[in-house]
Chains A and B, each alone.
Chain A
Amino acid sequence: MTFDIRAADLVENPTPRVPVSLCIDTSGSMAGDKIRELVEGIGLFYDAIDEDDDAHDSAEVSVVAFNTGANLVQDFASVEGLQRDITIAPSGLTHLGEGVNLALDTLEKRKSLYSDTGVLYFQPWLVLMTDGQPNGDKSELERAIQRVTRMVASKKLTVFPIGIGSDADLDVLGRFTPEKPPLRLKGIDFKEFFEWLSKSVSKVSQSMPGGEPPIDFGSIRGIEDL
């Protein structure tokens, strides 16, 4: 019998994990260059994780796409288990609340698996990307905002709300991060953002000066605060 690493990766890799949940808008308005660049950006993100020793062992990524409803495109997996060819055809509305709730539900499931098996993990990350205004169920949106802000307040989640282009509703995104302003991605250059994201995943396990892992929003080029 050979030493099957991938099958039992979860328990055999003792590295504490960094669960990263990508929650992306795939409504009709994302069609064209935006979605193409975004999917490409995610691909680069996967590559960067794969190449970095630290991120390789620690990152676990999930992808939730939301339009009219929400869909789990990728359940949490280490970089070797990630589905690399993502095809998304944007259409429909922007059910952001539903998307975030699905992302959080998926995260809760993963966390309980970690807990049951004794796998350690760092504070999970939620990357929320949208180019428009949420128009799903109002109560779902409120519930999502409440869940996220509560988790952030108790240090159970780091959230990156990102507006794509000038039509993104930064007021709503801002409600997910009461402490910091949301970010607006100028143009559609996701590359730099995802490069930064993968580097940050890698940094979580590095030596640090104590306290929280340093997350320097200012170091992301191509992003402007409003």
Chain B
Amino acid sequence: MAAQELLDPIDFVGPSGRLLIDTSVFMDDRPERRGGLKALLQRCGQTIRLNDNPIVIPIDVVEELTKQSRKVDPERAEAIRRAGVSLGFIGDAAALGLVRTDIGHDSNHYADSVFEAIFTRYANQYDMCLLINDITPLLHVRLLSHTSSKKLVAGSLTSDGRVRIESDQILYERGVRKLRRKQDEGDAREVAALSPLLADFKGQFGTSELADRRTGSPVLGSPSAESGVRCRVEPFDREPAFKGADSLLEVATIPSVGDKVHFSSPSGSGSVVLDELLGEGGEGAAYAVHGDRVVKIFDRDHVTRHRQAKVEQFASRSLYSQGICFPEAVVTNDAGEFVGYMMPRARGNEFRVIMNPRRFLKAFPGWTKADLVDVCISFLEKVSYLHSLNVIVGDINPKNVIVDASKNVWMIDADSWQVDGYPCPVGTPMFTAASALGRPYAESLRTSEEELFAVATMLFMVLITGQFPYARTGSDGDIARLIKDGNFAFQVGERSNRDQPEGNWKYMWSHMPRGLKEMFWNTFHREGQRYTSPPSAEEWLRAFRQYRWWLGSDKNFDPMSNDVYPFRFKAFKPETPILECPQCNRRNALVGEWNEATQDHVIPGMCFDCSQQNRPRCSDCGTPRPAGALKDGRCRDCNRKRDFGTCERCGTETPHRYLVGGRCSQCQLGTCKSCKKSVLKSDLSYGRCTACERRGNELDPLRLCTDCRQSFIDFDHIEWFKGKGLDVAKSHVAIKKQCPPRTTSVQPASSQRYPNVPRAATTTTKQAASKSSARPQPTFWERLKKWWNG
């Protein structure tokens, strides 16, 4: 791309386009741009009227101009005059149908981000052009254009009514210059908005740094992302050494409500009375002071050396950023001892409200998925900023993050953050990476990977409204075990998993965009590519901004994807019919099912929930089942649970009726009829134990054939004769066997006494004999098999 490009705005007032103007264009008094608005209307007027597609001047812009025009400030007289003139211009142009001012006041709370909202929302619907001079929206639109299927541009208005579009590199450099300016001014909100945007921009377009590169602030997880962007605030040490164990500090008194405390910060010091007790936690109490400030006073067990050092570190840097409760001042008691700190007051609900449907619906009625995504983005902006300062939040959990009704997120509990080698002494098992589980949190520093595991877990739990990533069926509830197993049960693509937990979580998961699902899967599943190096806050920010855009785009074809609590899987394709369920009348409840045979969609008669409700339920577990699947009113599993027991010896599941004395038939005990010992029934053969059976088959070495002088008869056979009251046979012939052929002249007598030596010969004889004399009958099973197979 050339350094700049001039576009004719007429392309954006056709039927498929939108042209928008920002306040800055009206307020631009540079002589070289004079006459631009007039030239613009001259160029586009006809086409606008032809297509009835007026230029959009959002209501927010009109309000801003109105505010400007009403100011009384002699030094800004020209600007005030200009604002008034612009209002007249807009009014008249609107009367002519050339501009419209009925758009704006998006649910989004930033007045200046109305364009961001519009562009994000319609990025894939219209070709859009924004006339604006402010660099932040210029960057945003350029970024968005990269992923959009439509033409999205933003630039300044030239005096001949054309749009000046600058190159990626120039935009980037302007952005960096603005960031530096804002940092110097200490405008934390702008810095928080701009720095991730620039990092994204650089990542996307590979723009290079300014020539006068200054020392950078490394960003956690993506060291290159922000290098070159100088922070006015010095970041904390990037790789500090562990400061060791904490120790208690002696304090004479712990102030409480009504007491006076003293505060000191670089910007001043003084005293203040602890007004109202806001709450008590595990470490101390929080009091309102000065209306919008909070003083946290530790209890005796938590006034420690580390906490003091951290609070002093933060306060000395005068850190301020919207949504982050940085300690601003060190608070001491009358004796001058450290007891707590002062910080901005966060207002709103703890994140865990999002994680409980009952509380969520009460606190934030009407929220959609997009609102939850905005909350994630706000959370990530804060985390990303903290990481850029080399602060590790440590104990990320749903009670340490606050969100208000305008989706502003607040990070609280700064005294537990890990900074400058002082560890975060507490944690929450669900948000603890496998590598940090099982040891006290205070004993070592958390790694950035461990921190990013917690970030990923939090994002997942906000989107899925509270479910734990590793929740799955068949666990014994051991959270640490689940994390260590790394068996992420939510499935994506071909990776199926039968252990997904019950409930609507699978639907929420199903409605997420594929890319985000992959990101979660790769982070949480032990076979995932990011399992050991979770995505950084910046990476997540990009993904969530993309998600936000996707929700408003035409790529998001299933209306239920916008719901916080979807109750069915996402429709498969854009052309899938989505209908209201005729039974429960819930919108979008029915989804056509593709039938390969007819090559058409089949519309079910009612939604899944209704068909479940119409089904009979298992009387034991309450699960709805098809009528035929219940036996005695119970499902197969419950019948099994009811009718089956576990054999206490081998653990095999066996129907109760086959369990005798708690054991299955295989594990029953019996008595060997020969030796009378108690052995497993399954080991008995014809009533004898294996030892006795083996012995019965051995030839009696002491009884020798009268003909050949060799052993010839086994013990069983002897017993048989005895049992009949007969004399035991004395030769091979008498038991219908033949004497073995004599190969050697005479067997030494001694060998006959020891059966080991001649056994080989004798057993062969016996086997041969038995084969010839009694051909074994086929067993019952063999006969049955033959009968069955025909």
Interface residues of A (CB under 8 A from B): 1, 3, 5, 8, 11-16, 53, 57, 111, 113-122, 156, 203, 205-211
Contacts and interface: CB of A to CB of B under 8 A. Distances in A.
A112 B361 CA distance: 30
Contact of A209 (B356, B425, B479): B425
A211 B465 contact: no
A106 B257 CA distance: 47
Contact of A117 (B399, B439, B502): B502
Nearest to A205: B428
Given A14-B467, A114-B477, 14 more contacts: A1-B585, A3-B361, A14-B505, A15-B355, A15-B356, A53-B359, A115-B474, A116-B474, A116-B502, A118-B473, A118-B489, A120-B477, A210-B440, A210-B443
Contacts of A120: 468, 471, 475, 477, 479, 482
A209 B474 CA distance: 28
Contact of B502 (A3, A5, A118, A156): A118
B497 to A, nearest CB: 11
Contacts of A156: 476
B477 A115 contact: yes
A170 to B, nearest CB: 31
Closest 9 A/B residue pairs (Cβ): A118-B501, A11-B503, A14-B466, A121-B477, A210-B440, A207-B426, A117-B502, A118-B473, A1-B584
Nearest to B467: A14
A27 B579 CA distance: 61
Nearest to A211: B440
B442 A118 contact: no
Contact of A1 (B475, B479, B499, B609): B609
Nearest to B501: A118
A147 to B, nearest CB: 14
Contacts of B395: 207
A8 B567 CA distance: 13
A117 B471 CA distance: 9
A115 B621 CA distance: 13
A210 B477 contact: no
Contacts of A53: 352, 359
Contacts of A111: 476-477
A16 B440 contact: no
A121 B429 CA distance: 12
Given A11-B501, A206-B282, A209-B442, A117 B473 contact: yes
A156 B476 CA distance: 9
A1 B361 contact: no
Main secondary structure of the interface of A (DSSP, over half): loop
Given A14-B471, A209-B441, A122 B609 contact: no
Given A115-B473, A117-B503, A207-B395, A13 B479 contact: no
Given A11-B502, A14-B471, A115-B473, A208 B427 contact: yes
A117 B395 CA distance: 28
A208 B440 CA distance: 9
B500 A118 contact: yes
A54 B355 CA distance: 12
Nearest to B466: A14
Nearest to B499: A118
Contacts of A119: 471, 477, 501
Nearest to A57: B356
Interface of B: 282, 352, 355-359, 361, 395, 397, 399-400, 416, 425-430, 438-443, 464-468, 471-477, 479, 482, 489, 499-505, 565, 584-586, 609, 621
Q: Which of B428, B430, B476, B479 has the most CB of A within 10 A?
A: B476
A209 B429 CA distance: 10
B428 A207 contact: yes
Nearest to A16: B479
A12 B503 contact: yes
Contact of B473 (A116, A205, A208, A211): A116
B446 to A, nearest CB: 12
Given A118-B499, A120-B477, A5 B439 contact: no
A181 to B, nearest CB: 25
Nearest to B474: A115
Nearest to B359: A53
A16 B416 CA distance: 24
Contacts of A209: 425-427, 440-442
Contacts of B467: 14
Contacts of A210: 427, 438-443
29 contacts: A1-B586, A11-B501, A11-B502, A12-B357, A13-B356, A13-B466, A14-B355, A14-B466, A14-B468, A15-B356, A16-B430, A16-B477, A16-B479, A115-B475, A116-B474, A118-B489, A118-B499, A121-B477, A206-B282, A206-B428, A207-B282, A207-B399, A207-B426, A207-B428, A208-B429, A209-B426, A209-B427, A210-B440, A211-B440
Contacts of A118: 471-475, 489, 499-503
A42 B78 CA distance: 75
B779 to A, nearest CB: 41
Nearest to B436: A210
A57 B359 CA distance: 10
Nearest to A5: B358
A114 B416 CA distance: 33
A15 B355 CA distance: 8
B40 to A, nearest CB: 50
Contacts of B430: 16
A208 B395 CA distance: 9
B558 to A, nearest CB: 19
A113 B638 CA distance: 11
Contacts of A117: 473, 501-503
A116 B425 CA distance: 35
Contacts of A57: 356
A3 B357 contact: yes
B575 to A, nearest CB: 27
Contacts of B282: 203, 206-207
B397 A207 contact: yes
Contacts of B465: 14
A110 B500 CA distance: 19
B473 A3 contact: no
Nearest to A203: B282
A93 to B, nearest CB: 27
Contact of A122 (B438, B477, B501): B477
Nearest to B443: A210
A135 B361 CA distance: 52
Contacts of A14: 355-356, 464-468, 471, 503, 505
Contacts of A207: 282, 395, 397, 399-400, 416, 426-428
A14 B428 CA distance: 16
B472 to A, nearest CB: 5
A212 B478 CA distance: 12
Contacts of B503: 8, 11-12, 14, 117-118
Contacts of B468: 14, 16, 120
Contact of B357 (A1, A13, A16, A206): A13
B119 to A, nearest CB: 34
Contacts of A121: 477
A117 B476 CA distance: 11
Contact of A208 (B352, B426, B475, B476): B426
Contacts of A203: 282
B486 to A, nearest CB: 16
Contacts of A211: 438-440
A5 B359 CA distance: 11
Nearest to B503: A11
Contacts of B416: 207
Q: Which of B430, B466, B477, B609 has the most CB of A within 10 A?
A: B477
Given A1-B609, A207-B427, A209-B440, A12 B504 contact: yes
A114 B440 CA distance: 28
Contacts of A208: 426-429
A53 B281 CA distance: 13
